[in-house]
Structure 1
Amino acid sequence: MLATVAQWLALATLTGVVVGCGTSLFLLPLYYLTGKSAAVPLWAQMILLPVGGLLNGLLLYYGYRANKTGLKDSMLAAVYDQGGKMPFKTCVIKPVAALITLSCGGSAGKEGPCSHIGASLAAGIGHVLKLNTELQRRIVACGVSAGFASVFGTPIAGAIYGVEVLAIGRIRHDFLFPAIIAGITSFQVSRWLGIPYQYYHIPSLPVFSELLFIETIGIGMVCGLVAWLFVDLIHFSRNLFQRLRLRYDIWPPLMPLAGGILLALLILAIPTDYLGLSLPLMDRALSGEPMPYLGFLWKSLLVAITLGSGFYGGIVTPQFVIGAVTGNACAHLLGISPMLGAAVGLVAVVAASSNTPLAAILMGVELFGGAVGMIYVAGGAIAAYLIIGHRSVYPDQRLAYSKSSWLKVVPDMPVGQEKAHLSYGLLRWWKRH
């Protein structure tokens, strides 16, 4: 056991340093470019979106033709199907595509490229050190955890997210120590390199209130339904664009161009606040400023079109925005603190959409402070996690255990292939009762 601790202390620290440097090289130009593009007028934004779509399409189409290994660049595929191997030659394609997406106004997140950088660099380290298959899988999970910790400034939650996201209902405890070491190291390296992080203060709440706890659980349930809509919109949009491309034999790089044109038309009616990362919108929600009741729908729609048409970007940052906007709006309806409502909503949508309730709750602790309202945040997060059922923004995420004894599932089946079995389980339950 002592040798295991020493081994992973060295490997995880090395991984954290390398991934922290890699994600910082992505985040620094990202913040510069998005800061410049945020000030462009509407007519320029309408031009940038189609141009960015075409550039995305060309980069991803021709870039991935260079991948001769046959390996997928999905972190989940690397852990489950590829023995921890990733196509290292393509590791810069997705980060560059994300820079184009976000600087042109595409509605997406920044964590996807960072987790991809983390997984690719960690897989490269494992290859150089000639690690066996099991250690290779663990070091890739370390890289993902380090990437999430670096991008959000939440070293513990980011580390747990990279492990918890692997499967619904199961956490590999043997992954935890290296993931936490890598996450903390990566965060410290990124902070030393000048990556800015935003934390929030929620005013102190009175002693525990049963009524307030029930109300925040209600907010969590609403956020679970919103996450349900968000996940289904993402999958519907991807399937729709894919079917259109195949039916009319459209050249693949033209699909994100079409998505960019559609986004350009939509922002004539939808505020441009929902484009890009939308972090100022989230900041206003968390400061207590009233949010529009349909804000979650506009952000979900723009994200679904952006990612579904073929732009590349992350999918967790939009969950932050959607959750904060939804929780804030619900809190105003209930007459409770909108800042608390936004915090509950942010954590709840992440817990539901990604099926990572523990990581989401810990993220709330690191973002908002551990002593303020975390019991309310935790209640809302668990409620949302249950409400969404067996849905996920990650189709390759494995389903280890069912969330309900009423539903029969096939263990370790990817969530994206589980709908038929879920329907079968519901039918059997209906017949029995």
Structure 2
Amino acid sequence: MNTKLKYKIFISTLFKWGFWAAIIGAIIGSTTAFLLTTNDFLGNEIREKNSWLIFFLPLGGIVLGYIYMNFGKSNGNDIAKGNNLVIEGVHGISKVLRRMGPFVYLGTFITVLFGGSTGREGAAIQMGGSVAETVNQYFKVNILDTKILLMSGISAGFGSAFGTPITGAIFGMEMVAIGKLKYEALLSCLVASFVGHYVTEKVWGVGHENFIIQSVPELSILSFSKVIILAIIFSLVSVTYCQLRHGIQTVSEKYFKKNHIKRAFFGGCVIVILTLIVGSTDYNGRGLDMLEESFKEAIPPFAFFAKLIFTAVTMGSGFVGGEAIPLFFIGATLGNALSPYFDMPMSFLAALGMIAVFCGGANTPLAVFLLSVEMFNGKGVEYFFVACIVSYIFSGHHGLWPSQTVFAPKSRLYNTVNGESIGTIEKKKKH
């Protein structure tokens, strides 16, 4: 093959990737705008003004379980796997179903309306995978390009959901595998994320939350030492959440024989009981109000633990949505509670906890560091970089998504085989 032909193929391939990614980004930007607007309406305008809706969460679980059990499976592929199915699609293990996006949106609306503790990035990412698969089938994309476009869908979903296009671009490449960045997808992920973000904010005028750090500690050995200790604490909290969430899922699937209707109904009942025990709806839904308050004023010291339990039960019993916002809540409120003990600014520790807890669960240190840069306008970048690395290492081979593949262990102390999934590693530990 001569040089001229090589360049021609190279340029045409880049053009195709960019074109397909732009289509994915435009669609995901629009669907994410719809997701954010609808969630705000259901969560803020309806549920918060009608606290009695929490008593209908078990019935919402029945509806959700029925939909997923009867319409969510095809040829061994199950949309109930959520983000794990998208990751498996990138690895060529499973096939992402096109119906996944609409169903996860409906499930998220049900969960938010009736008070399940959930977020939004899961719905956006799964819609991204669904749209990418639709583009793949429509244009008859080959298997290698299919994987790249699925990562583009992830990027578009995350970038548009949080208004962080640079983070979204890297997140799509970093999420699917631990210890390896899929650089071949860089162009597609970048285009999809930026187009998705632009369409969400500029075309549809849907904004995102602002979290402001009032002050950052001066750079010093003492401050870095405190940040390292805090990052270890945040990483362990992240592991606690992941283990509890997956443990509830495993036990409920075993006890109810993988009957999604019974699992979600039971989980909904537990959330209702927990809400009555706590005597507050602060830990239902997304919890954005308390999340924002944690940057400004002291909040209940055990708020992080309550949200951890509420979210683990909600997601572990079969409700859907996302886990980024709940992890932001857990980290920020824990940072808020630890602020007096570490003698550091409250807003800074809320931000640090928010980033470090999510990093430990997502296993995407580079993307989450960039998230801190975009969310907090570059304040305290040195501290956030250290916190992300420490949280990533100390969280071990645990995480939100068992289908994540370990291509390079986080440390030589971890005895893993390259290519194993987190789920496989977890099973080996139990045996």
TM-score by length of structure 1 reads 0.91
The worse-fitting range, judged by mean Cα deviation, of 121-130 and 267-276 is 267-276
Q: 2:28 aligns with which of 16, 19, 34?
A: 19
Q: 2:121 aligns with which of 92, 111, 119?
A: 111
Residue by residue over 1:18-44, the C-alpha shift from the partner in whole angstroms, topping out at 9 and shown as x without a partner, is 2112222322222111112343454x1
Tell me the distance in 1 between the aligned counterparts of 2:350 and 2:284. Answer: 20
Alignment of 1:49-68 (within 5 A): 49-64=57-72, 67-68=73-74
Evaluate the alpha carbon distance shift between residue 2 and residue 219 of structure 1 in structure 2; reply closer, same or farther with a 3 A threshold: same
Residue by residue over 1:220-258, the C-alpha shift from the partner in whole angstroms, topping out at 9 and shown as x without a partner, is 111011001001110111012112112xxx854122111
1:39 is matched with which residue?
48
Aligned partner letter, 1:376:
Y
1:350 is matched with which residue?
358
Any conservation in 1 of the 2:339–2:345 contact (CA below 8 Å)?
yes
Any conservation in 1 of the 2:92–2:147 contact (CA below 8 Å)?
no
Any conservation in 1 of the 2:335–2:350 contact (CA below 8 Å)?
yes
1:3 Cα shift? 3.6
Residue by residue over 1:194-245, the C-alpha shift from the partner in whole angstroms, topping out at 9 and shown as x without a partner, is 2221222223436422211211121111101100100111011101211211
2:328 is matched with which residue?
320
Secondary structure in structure 2 of the residue aligned to 1:267: helix
Tell me the distance in 2 between the aligned counterparts of 1:205 and 1:29. Answer: 35
Residue by residue over 1:127-162, the C-alpha shift from the partner in whole angstroms, topping out at 9 and shown as x without a partner, is 111111000110011011101111111111122112
Aligned partner letter, 1:239:
T
1:429 is matched with which residue?
none
Q: Does 1:258 align with 2:266?
A: yes
Alignment of 1:179-258 (within 5 A): 179-191=189-201, 192-205=203-216, 207-246=218-257, 252-258=260-266
How high is the sequence identity, in percent, across the aligned residues? 29
Any conservation in 2 of the 1:72–1:78 contact (CA below 8 Å)?
no
Tell me the distance in 2 between the aligned counterparts of 1:21 and 1:326. Answer: 34
- Unpaired runs of 5+ residues, structure 1, are 425-433
Any conservation in 2 of the 1:344–1:381 contact (CA below 8 Å)?
no
Any conservation in 2 of the 1:52–1:100 contact (CA below 8 Å)?
yes
Tell me the distance in 2 between the aligned counterparts of 1:51 and 1:345. Answer: 34
Q: Does 1:165 align with 2:175?
A: yes
Aligned partner letter, 2:385:
A
2:7 is matched with which residue?
none
Tell me the distance in 2 between the aligned counterparts of 1:300 and 1:203. Answer: 26
Evaluate the alpha carbon distance shift between residue 17 and residue 91 of structure 1 in structure 2; reply closer, same or farther with a 3 A threshold: same
Evaluate the alpha carbon distance shift between residue 375 and residue 33 of structure 1 in structure 2; reply closer, same or farther with a 3 A threshold: same
Any conservation in 2 of the 1:71–1:82 contact (CA below 8 Å)?
no
Tell me the distance in 1 between the aligned counterparts of 2:126 and 2:259. Answer: 26
RMSD: 1.9
Tell me the distance in 1 between the aligned counterparts of 2:214 and 2:204. Answer: 31
Any conservation in 1 of the 2:100–2:127 contact (CA below 8 Å)?
no
Any conservation in 2 of the 1:33–1:103 contact (CA below 8 Å)?
yes
Any conservation in 2 of the 1:409–1:421 contact (CA below 8 Å)?
no
TM-score by length of structure 2 reads 0.91
Q: Does 1:28 align with 2:37?
A: yes
Evaluate the alpha carbon distance shift between residue 255 and residue 172 of structure 1 in structure 2; reply closer, same or farther with a 3 A threshold: same
Any conservation in 1 of the 2:405–2:422 contact (CA below 8 Å)?
yes
2:345 is matched with which residue?
337
2:102 is matched with which residue?
92
Tell me the distance in 2 between the aligned counterparts of 1:387 and 1:262. Answer: 31
Evaluate the alpha carbon distance shift between residue 353 and residue 19 of structure 1 in structure 2; reply closer, same or farther with a 3 A threshold: same
Q: Does 1:280 align with 2:286?
A: no
Aligned partner letter, 2:229:
G
Tell me the distance in 2 between the aligned counterparts of 1:356 and 1:177. Answer: 19
Tell me the distance in 2 between the aligned counterparts of 1:68 and 1:337. Answer: 51
Tell me the distance in 2 between the aligned counterparts of 1:228 and 1:50. Answer: 28
1:390 is matched with which residue?
397
Aligned partner letter, 1:369:
N
Evaluate the alpha carbon distance shift between residue 72 and residue 52 of structure 1 in structure 2; reply closer, same or farther with a 3 A threshold: closer
The worse-fitting range, judged by mean Cα deviation, of 254-263 and 197-206 is 197-206
Tell me the distance in 1 between the aligned counterparts of 2:335 and 2:186. Answer: 31
Tell me the distance in 2 between the aligned counterparts of 1:367 and 1:32. Answer: 24
Tell me the distance in 1 between the aligned counterparts of 2:50 and 2:293. Answer: 22
Secondary structure in structure 2 of the residue aligned to 1:102: helix
Tell me the distance in 1 between the aligned counterparts of 2:180 and 2:156. Answer: 20
The worse-fitting range, judged by mean Cα deviation, of 269-278 and 165-174 is 269-278
Any conservation in 1 of the 2:132–2:150 contact (CA below 8 Å)?
yes
Any conservation in 2 of the 1:87–1:120 contact (CA below 8 Å)?
yes
Aligned partner letter, 1:359:
A
1:430 is matched with which residue?
none
Tell me the distance in 2 between the aligned counterparts of 1:242 and 1:401. Answer: 31
2:15 is matched with which residue?
6
Residue by residue over 1:365-389, the C-alpha shift from the partner in whole angstroms, topping out at 9 and shown as x without a partner, is 111111x111111211211111110
- Unpaired runs of 5+ residues, structure 2, are 1-9, 80-84
